[in-house]
Amino acid sequence: MCAEPRSSSSASRLLAFSCACAIVLACAPTHAFAYCRLTTTMALAGLDCANDGMPLYWARQCISYSVVPRQSDTPSLVAIRDVVDRSFATWSDVQCNGHALGLGLSQTSELSQCDTPGYDEKGPNANSIIFLTDWRARDLPREAFGLTLVWHDEKTGEIFDADMQLNETLGMLDICKNASCADGTVDLQNIITHEAGHFLGLGHSSLTNACMYGKAKLGETSKRFLARDDEDGLCAIYGDLGTASCSADGYLPNGGFTSACPTNAPASAASSHGGGWLCSVGHAADGGALATLSALAAALTLAIRRRRSRTR
């Protein structure tokens, strides 16, 4: 499924890659799974799902994430923090071959106050969850419900930091009760669970019933839950890890935690690193009252150019 052309030539080029990838996947006779792992090549080539490059992964087993307060109090900050935890727990509760996932995922007690994604190699950081009312002013893909930036080593694929941005402009953000949303509502758990998959290193699945499928409708809640394909993708990355033993300090981001914006981060992550990809983005009328079919999210992977001796 191809997206509508976008205005910039670079975006069009990325989307062309995306369409070509879809054809390859459809024709592959022995493709036993549909999940996709983000790779270092994907970050540079703009492919929707790359078959080369180093897959991205967190080497650390204890990972924290931090909520940046919204401007609105509805839902409440307490409810927001709770739904973020539930969304991440959907992934951390996965069992691989009967064993608990060897990742510890935990929200920091302190909030982040930085609404700009970034990673500082030389200082403290936060894996921030950011709600944006000025989505379009930031020139983010207008039909996307979210965009997760995954900062990684371009040689090894090790993830250092991830920042999740959530779009406040496509509909009213809510936590729909009983998985039933009012018209025009965006279910936060639906979006954050999907974005958490990117946070952990997954790209988009080709299965329409997967959490990591790249599109969603307003009011959708089905991506609160994982399909077997999502679990297989997660276990492909982390299934061999032993039990995570996480002390309080073990969750600290690289360089420690800061609630402020990273001091030495590039002012513009995307332009500074030049890499990234956008999943298929476009409008499609489905004949229903809610005719807007939007790209759920794109993950933008950003390579950190430095050599590291550490391997997984």
Q: How far is the CB of 192 from Zn ion (least distance, A)?
A: 11
Q: 184, 218 in Cβ contact below 8 A? A: yes
Nearer to Zn ion, 67 or 300 (CB): 300
Q: Residues in contact with Zn ion, total (CB under 5 A)?
A: 1
Q: How far is the CB of 202 from Zn ion (least distance, A)?
A: 9
Nearer to Zn ion, 237 or 297 (CB): 297
Region of 12-20, 124-132, 175-183, 294-302 interacting with Zn ion (CB under 5 A): 294-302
Q: How far is the CB of 27 from Zn ion (least distance, A)?
A: 23
Question: Residue 122 class from Cβ within 10 Å (0-12 exposed, 13-18 middle, 19+ buried)?
Answer: exposed
Q: 181, 174 in Cβ contact below 8 A? A: yes
Q: How far is the CB of 148 from Zn ion (least distance, A)?
A: 7
Nearer to Zn ion, 156 or 193 (CB): 193
Residues 126 and 103: their CA atoms lie apart, in Å, by 18
Region of 135-143, 254-262, 265-273, 296-304 interacting with Zn ion (CB under 5 A): 296-304
Nearer to Zn ion, 265 or 296 (CB): 296
Cross-strand partners of 295: 215
- The answer to the question of residue 300 lying near Zn ion (CB under 5 A) is no
Q: How far is the CB of 203 from Zn ion (least distance, A)?
A: 8
Region of 69-77, 174-182, 230-238, 289-297 interacting with Zn ion (CB under 5 A): 289-297
- The answer to the question of residue 200 lying near Zn ion (CB under 5 A) is no
Report CA dihedral (185, 70, 209, 276) to the nearest 10 degrees. Answer: 130
Nearer to Zn ion, 131 or 257 (CB): 131
Burial 275-289 (b: 16+ CB within 10 A, else e): bbbbbbbbeeeeeee
E-state strands within 35-154 = 57-58, 62-67, 95-96, 99-100, 104-107, 128-132, 146-153
297's tokens: 């999210």
Rg (CA), the chain: 18
Q: Report 88-117 residues binding Zn ion (CB under 5 A).
A: none
Looking at residue 121, what DSSP letter applies?
T
- The answer to the question of residue 297 lying near Zn ion (CB under 5 A) is yes
Residues 23 and 98: their CA atoms lie apart, in Å, by 35
Region of 107-115, 220-228, 267-275, 295-303 interacting with Zn ion (CB under 5 A): 295-303
> Contact positions toward Zn ion, by CB under 5 A?
297
